[in-house]
């Protein structure tokens, strides 16, 4: 999830499949072979109704969105460049200045063949008995008749959030349904500059002791610049929209590697405190890696896998964190050109659970988790599958003040379309369950697992 305060709410970032077609005028040129391009601007870009920056905006697209270029025309010159690409979205013609798109790298390899899991044991052979028990429980859920989908409400990540706001979100769910979510979480980025992780860890320990499962994500800062997770542009190259290769973070002897290890050490200190408290963590780093908004996105897949495996080895073997279950969670795709959900999969020996992050379009019904085969591809891993970030509004927050999602539709769609899902987790803030409708029906559905339904993990581990 990208930063999401009110600047994001004002801007409607829509994720739509885009086809670029030739304008039927004398100035238009048609490509003989469609070529995939991506939105290279570090910010959302506007699709105009004419080839001019003064023209009305029809839609705004996110960084990294993939488009297929087949035509162009001339329009307003920007920095001496008059070339605009012509697009049609839902049958309407629009225009994007050519400086905002870059060809998708031709050296990106095709998707690798997915090796299915041949064991239901954790990737860490020294995982705690409680971690082993939780993973075994997740594997077993799709075979049940009822009580098979864990209900989650994330706690805190964005600006202005805290332990207090996380607790209020959980209370909202309880007040509306009489049930507590069985899963909650925190994002360590919110507290990386603090002396300790006492605030998020205190919340997670309390939730664990009350019977909930917990997860942690990490919108990691840029180890090259110190900027936030959205700081992905590599200004050291002739193309200022290039990303830096994360392979550099796996090779000792450079400043970025040193900063990365320091960051891992800080995160490990918080995870160690949770291990000391007996808490098992569903650890979800480097998420949405097939998107385009963070510095670890749009990487060569082998470079990303190397970074994931380095983090796994460092936290598992060097730091001896045996309380982690490792979660791989890409984004749902927005076009046929996007990298698939398993394109960056680091392999069964480094992952325990797979999942998707999904933010819905305003008119989306049912929820689309498999439009481009994302759900089916993750099934091939043989791992338990979750919906780790669910937003019933677009990621921009568009519609936050006017749209109320029917949360009962979520479990309807899981039953009918995605029956192998073992959990869902509503994101915080405007996407939280308590801000929308029919939470009572969702939380009391026969398929849904609430906090009181979970086992005692110490007993299960015996």
pLDDT tens per residue across span 222-277: 999 999 998 887 777 776 567 889 999 999 999 999 999 999 999 999 999 999 99
Q: pLDDT higher for 136 or 66? A: 136
166 is written with which tokens?
Answer: 């996380």
How confident is the model over 34-45, as a mean pLDDT? 67
What is the overall mean pLDDT for the chain?
Answer: 88
Q: What's the pLDDT band for 294 if we cut at 50, 70, 90?
A: very high
pLDDT at residue 72, as a whole number: 87
Helix (H/G/I), strand (E/B), else coil: 405: coil
Residue 420 or 236, more confident: 420
Q: Architecture of domain 6-103 in CATH? A: Roll (2.30)
Q: Which of 87-91, 242-246, 453-457 has the lowest mean pLDDT?
A: 87-91
What does the block give as tokens for 19? 């086809």
Nearest to 344 by CA among 335, 334, 333: 333
Per-residue pLDDT reduced to its tens digit, 396-415: 899 999 999 999 999 999 99
Q: For residue 269, give the nearest of 328, 321, 205 by alpha carbon.
A: 321
- Asked which of 117-131, 266-280, 325-339 is least confident by mean pLDDT, the reply is 325-339
- Catalytic positions: 288, 389
**Domains of the chain, residue spans:** 6-103, 129-461
- Report how far residue 445's alpha carbon sits from residue 441's, in angstroms, rounded to the nearest whole number: 6
Burial label for 419, CB within 10 Å (0-12, 13-18, 19+), is: exposed
pLDDT on residue 14? 35
* pLDDT of 41 strictly over 60: no
What's residue 448's pLDDT?
A: 98
Mean of pLDDT values over 424-445: 97
CA 366/CA 409 separation, integer angstroms: 8
Helix (H, G, I), strand (E, B) or coil at 392: coil
Query: Other CB atoms closer than 10 Å to residue 389's CB: what's the count?
Result: 28
Least confident among 49-53, 145-149, 231-235, 297-301: 231-235
Would you tell me how many other CB atoms lie within 10 Å of the CB of residue 281?
A: 25
For residues 40 and 165, the model is more confident at: 165
289 Cβ partners below 8 Å, 6+ apart?
296, 297, 299, 304, 330, 344
**Which pLDDT value is given to residue 9?**
36
163-177 vs 198-209: helix crossing angle, rounded to 10? 30
Reported as a pLDDT band with limits 50, 70 and 90, residue 15 is: very low
Position 31 pLDDT exceeds 60: no
Candidate ranges 105-109, 340-344, 458-462; pick with highest mean pLDDT = 340-344
Residue 164 has pLDDT above 60, yes or no: yes
CATH topology of domain 129-461: TIM Barrel (3.20.20)
The better pLDDT of the pair 24, 456 is held by 456
Which range (61-65, 119-123, 202-206, 308-312) has the least confidence? 61-65
- Which band of pLDDT confidence, cut at 50, 70 and 90, is reported for residue 100? confident
Look at the chain and count its residues.
462
Residue 13 has pLDDT above 50, yes or no: no
Q: What angle do CA 255, 218, 366 make, to 5 degrees?
A: 140
Res. 22: pLDDT tops 60? no
| Residue 41 near residue 13 (C-beta atoms within 8 A) | no
79: left (phi over 0), alpha (psi -120 to 50) or beta: left
């Amino acid at each position: 999830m990208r930063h999401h305060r009110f600047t994001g709410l004002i801007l409607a970032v829509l994720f739509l499949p885009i086809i670029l077609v030739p304008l039927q005028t004398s100035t238009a040129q048609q490509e003989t072979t469609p070529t995939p391009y991506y939105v290279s601007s570090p910010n959302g870009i506007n699709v105009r109704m004419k080839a001019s920056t003064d023209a009305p905006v029809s839609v705004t697209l996110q960084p990294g969105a993939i488009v297929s270029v087949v035509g162009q025309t001339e329009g307003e010159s920007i920095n001496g460049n008059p070339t605009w690409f012509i697009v049609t979205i839902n049958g309407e013609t629009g225009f994007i200045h050519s400086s905002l798109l870059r060809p998708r790298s031709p050296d990106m390899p095709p998707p690798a063949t997915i090796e299915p899991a041949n064991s239901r044991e954790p990737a860490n052979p020294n995982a705690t008995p409680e971690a082993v028990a939780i993973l075994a429980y997740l594997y077993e859920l799709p075979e049940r008749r009822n009580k098979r989908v864990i209900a989650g409400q994330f706690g805190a990540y964005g600006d202005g959030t805290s332990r207090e706001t996380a607790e209020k979100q959980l209370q909202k769910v309880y007040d509306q349904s009489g049930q507590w979510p069985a899963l909650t979480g925190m994002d360590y980025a919110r507290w990386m500059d603090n002396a300790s992780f006492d605030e998020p860890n205190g919340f997670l320990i309390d939730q664990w002791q009350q019977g909930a499962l917990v997860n942690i994500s990490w919108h990691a800062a840029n180890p090259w610049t110190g900027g936030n997770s959205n700081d992905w542009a590599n200004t050291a190259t002739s193309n200022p929209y290039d990303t830096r290769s994360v392979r550099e973070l796996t090779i000792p002897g450079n400043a970025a590697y040193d900063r990365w290890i320091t960051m891992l050490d800080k995160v490990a200190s918080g995870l160690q405190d949770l291990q000391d408290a007996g808490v098992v963590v569903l650890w979800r780093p480097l998420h949405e890696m097939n998107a385009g908004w963070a510095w670890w996105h749009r990487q060569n897949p082998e470079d990303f896998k190397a970074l994931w495996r380095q983090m796994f080895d460092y936290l598992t073997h060097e730091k001896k964190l045996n309380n982690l279950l490792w979660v791989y969670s890409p984004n749902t795709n927005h076009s046929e050109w996007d990298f698939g959900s398993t394109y960056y999969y680091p392999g069964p020996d480094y992952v325990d659970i797979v999942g998707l992050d999904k933010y819905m379009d305003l008119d989306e019904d049912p929820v689309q988790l498999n439009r481009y085969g994302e759900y089916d591809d993750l099934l091939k891993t043989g791992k338990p599958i979750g919906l780790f970030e669910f937003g019933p509004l677009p990621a921009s927050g568009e519609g936050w003040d006017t749209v109320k999602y029917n949360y009962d539709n979520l479990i309807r769609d899981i039953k009918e379309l995605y029956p192998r899902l073992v959990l869902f987790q509503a994101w915080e803030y405007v996407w939280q369950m308590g801000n929308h409708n029919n939470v009572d029906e969702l939380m009391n559905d026969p398929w849904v697992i609430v906090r009181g339904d979970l086992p005692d993990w110490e007993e299960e581990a015996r």
